[in-house]
Amino acid sequence: MTQRFDSEVTTVCGYCGVGCRLEAHVRDGRVASISPALDGPSNKGHTCLKGRFAHQFSRSRDRLTEPLIREGDEFRTATWAEAIDRIRAELTRIKATHGPDAIAGLASSRGTNEECYAMSRLMRAAVGTNNIDNCSRVCHSPTSWALRKSLGLSGATGSFDDIEAAQAAIIIGANPTEGHPVVGARIKQATLRGLALVTIDPRRIELSDYAVLHLSPRPGTNAAVMLGLAHVVWRDGLLDHDFIAARTEGFDEVQELIATYAPEQVHEITGVPAADIERAAHVYGEVDRASILWGLGVTEHLYGSEVVRLICNLALMTGKVGRPGAALLPLRGQNNVQGSSDMGALPDTYTAYRSVADEDVAQAFERAWGEPLSREKGYTIPQMFGAAVDGRLKAMYIFGEDVAQSDPNTAHVIKALESLEFLVCQDIFQTETTRYADVVLPASAFLEKDGTFTNAERRFQLVAPAIDPPGNAKPDLEIIQMVSRALGHEMGYADSAAVMDEIAALTPEYAGVSHARLGRRGLQWPVAADGTDSVILYRDQFELPGGRGRFAALPYKQPGDAADQEFPLVLVTGRRLQHYNAGTMTRRTGNLQLVDREWLEIHPDDAERLWIEDGQRVSVRSRVGRIEVEARVTDRIEPGHVFTAFHFPEVRTNLLIGSSADVNTSCPEYKVVAVDVRPMAEQPAFTPAVPEPALI
């Protein structure tokens, strides 16, 4: 029997950074089902169980539908006029008393490009501060920093089509079949057609079963692995000498460095057998077309940004960049984490990563916005929390981020939120963070948004609303403009297309982007004024002075934490296939019936030594915090390591994460945490945070 729908809307998935195009089927004002768009450029007619089935959250009974204002210890329902007036009064008071830099904002990597740009404008033009950041700070900021230093632009050098075009590939610090399932499926299919795959991860991920080789380095030793691969490529004559001479600089210093990282020395640091280092280097180096993919297992380290530069070194040494099948492909975590930074929601850059201190750029934005703008770099997210605790930051406006659940050193984050005089949260549900808010604004979910997302391929794609926000919730762009207007700065955008037109007019790299031009396949930036986009970067030259790629001579350095007698195991964190980040959306869907709790993976040898049984509740203690969670004994994890995710608020995994962060970008070191794991004397009953999806 044929199903009948009131409408069908093509949009883009709001989960990971793959950017799957979806067809949302609507009946009676609600999304009844979702199917993959057959012509989706990144998903090619496929989607994962989150994109296809985890949409019931949009009609959950506990969606925020009215503004809330704190009165004492409780929230009361308020009108929009009341909520906006409270925000106006408090931010105006704080700005007058303490100056604009006493206020900070967070943009959302869940939001559209247009919303993130408007949020940046709100803070810079209406408030008068560069204290604006987004969650790329705590995930792929090391990737952005390193790619700009080595190659010139902050994005993948190619597209997911390079997976099929490659003869070989390395995946390091990523688990695509769980974190980016459609890309994971494309990699699986490519291996069945002959792709020679090498996986590098402390866990034996699912794709390791499809690989010709799997390396399991000790957490925090990625740099040594990359230096070892570079040594073998150099030692065994796998260099592209012509490419190095014609298109790069700085190789002599790198050559001197990698000479000291023979596979035997790398084995001592990483635990990876020397023969496996040699074999992996030859898998990559011997073919003409090979790509490297990486994720948060690379970036979320003390020296994550340096490891990304070492990845770039390997590509430059072999000339594997700027050609089909020879790509560098960072797997971005959230649907618009690429775009939120591209749009200038960062404390030191405007759109396309142009410095706030660049006089010509700043003046162009001053003319467009009609306001004087600061040339001083603002606070990063960690600096915001530190400033709040110190009393220098008095107010925050958090759009679409649950920092009390997702950010590291949770106790410190909560102390910062409690230290603020005023906190605004703009979200679709009450979260761990909204508990500390003074005003909560009901926002729109991705199925209710209009605008664009930019996926991990640098691809702008149109996002269309399938349904309206519930109750009196409003589109985020409208909310941001309302707040800005109340603060005395009128943005005047008629719609999201007008925002993109302004972005294009002010940003040469996006000059040819418009909603009318994007169509169903989108455009990969840079986009010339005539609409010509860039599927592959660096075909002829790099986007750096002189047009040459830059090598970086960076040695291996010890991670910020390490196992010792008191904390003998190393915790690694990551994602589960069925859930996403803080679980705000997926725990309100049928996915909760697939996975209704968190668990800690522990190797059988460690479990036996610690008298831990499968299914037993255990205490996990780090240097900064403690949690309780169920143990599962598995050989997916290497001895000496444990693994868990962070999808369930009641577990509060990030209580274990300290303040160690990447040396160049302040990205937290989530991936190397020394812990002590012990069985609990008593095992209390476990209750999921959301026992059943609340549907209407």
Question: 672 near 573, Cβ under 8 Å?
Answer: no
Q: Does domain 569-679 have CATH number 2.60.260.20?
A: no
Among the listed ranges 148-162, 270-284, 475-489, 562-576, which one has the minimum average pLDDT value?
Answer: 562-576
- Segment 540-597, tens digit of pLDDT: 999 999 999 999 999 999 998 888 999 999 998 887 867 766 677 877 778 777 777 8
Class of 7-59 per CATH? Answer: mainly beta
Q: Residue 684's pLDDT is what?
A: 42
Confidence band for 386, pLDDT divided at 50, 70 and 90: very high
- Segment 66-75, tens digit of pLDDT: 999 999 999 9
Q: Residue 687's pLDDT is what?
A: 43
- As annotated, the residues of the chain forming the CATH 3.40.228.10 domain(s) are 141-330
- As annotated, the residues of the chain forming the CATH 2.40.40.20 domain(s) are 569-679
Q: Residue 691's pLDDT is what?
A: 37
In the block, which residue shows the tokens 């005047």?
Answer: 492
The stretches of 443-575 forming alpha helices (DSSP H) are 476-486, 496-506, 515-518
Max CA separation in the chain (angstroms): 71
Residue 483: name the closest of 494, 491, 495 by CA.
Answer: 491
- Sign of the CA dihedral with 591 first, then 595, 597, and 599 last: negative
Report the DSSP beta bridge partners of residue 642.
571, 602
Q: Residue 581's pLDDT is what?
A: 67
Q: Which fold has domain 141-330?
A: Dimethylsulfoxide Reductase; domain 2 (3.40.228)
Question: 451 near 114, Cβ under 8 Å?
Answer: yes
Q: Residue 541's pLDDT is what?
A: 97
- Segment 355-379, tens digit of pLDDT: 999 999 999 999 999 999 999 999 9
- As annotated, the residues of the chain forming the CATH 3.40.50.740 domain(s) are 68-139+335-466+473-506
Q: Residue 49's pLDDT is what?
A: 87
Q: Residue 242's pLDDT is what?
A: 98
- Cα(329)–Cα(156) distance, integer angstroms: 5
Class of 68-139+335-466+473-506 per CATH? Answer: alpha beta
Q: Residue 3's pLDDT is what?
A: 67
Please compute the mean of the pLDDT values over residues 246-264 and round it to a whole number: 98
- As annotated, the residues of the chain forming the CATH 2.20.25.90 domain(s) are 7-59
Q: Residue 1's pLDDT is what?
A: 42
User: pTM of the full predicted structure?
Assistant: 0.94
Question: Taking the C-alpha atoms of 443, 449, 455 and 459 in order, what is their torsion angle to the nearest 10 degrees?
Answer: -150
Please compute the mean of the pLDDT values over residues 452-468 and round it to a whole number: 97
State both tokens at 27. Answer: 């009946």
Among the listed ranges 196-210, 235-249, 357-371, 579-593, which one has the minimum average pLDDT value?
Answer: 579-593
- Cα(635)–Cα(671) distance, integer angstroms: 19
Average per-residue pLDDT in the chain?
A: 93
Among the listed ranges 82-96, 107-121, 405-419, which one has the minimum average pLDDT value?
Answer: 405-419
pLDDT above 70 covers a percentage of the chain that reads: 97
- Segment 618-669, tens digit of pLDDT: 999 999 999 999 999 999 888 999 998 877 777 788 888 888 888 999 888 8
- Cα(605)–Cα(516) distance, integer angstroms: 59
Q: Write the CB contacts of 334 (distance below 8 Å, at least 6 apart in sequence).
A: 15, 16, 17, 109, 110, 135, 139, 581
For residue 497, CA distances in Å to 223, 515, 527, 659 come to 43, 6, 16, 40
